[in-house]
Amino acid sequence: MAEQCTMNKEFREDIFKDIERTGEQIKEQMAEFQEVMRKKIDAQVNIAKFEAAYAFNVPKKQREKTMREVKEVRKEMWSEALKKSNGDTKLAYSFYKKACTFP
């Protein structure tokens, strides 16, 4: 390779172009990753705000009733996911997770 570098100018230029292209691809991937992480952090902050507002503004008895209802709904959703997956818990979890995701 050292001989090619000293003898072939095009080869050297191609190496540097490849390095630049790789660098640009990494920059694009990092920008995409940063955007995904920003959205996840924003979602976590919003969840925390909601939970705090809910705890401050909803009476304890109502929160307890809601928790019981949520547990029941989750049990039903898990049962449906298990039926849909014919007992395969890994597949059921993917169905359950998708069903629990907010639009």
Closest CA to 74 of 99, 102, 103, 40: 99
Q: Provide the domain limits for residue 86.
A: 59-103
Q: Domains in the chain: how many in total?
A: 2
Per-residue pLDDT, 2: 58
Neighbours of 81 (CB within 10 A): 21
Per-residue pLDDT, 1: 57
Q: Do residues 57 and 71 touch, judged by C-beta distance below 8 A?
A: no
Nearest-10 Cα torsion for 78, 83, 86, 90? -10
53 plus 67 within the same structural domain: no
80 plus 99 within the same structural domain: yes
pLDDT digits (tens, 9 = 90+) for 18-73: 999 999 999 999 999 999 999 999 999 999 999 999 999 999 999 999 999 999 99
79 plus 103 within the same structural domain: yes
66 plus 53 within the same structural domain: no
46 plus 73 within the same structural domain: no
Predicted TM-score (pTM) of the model is: 0.54
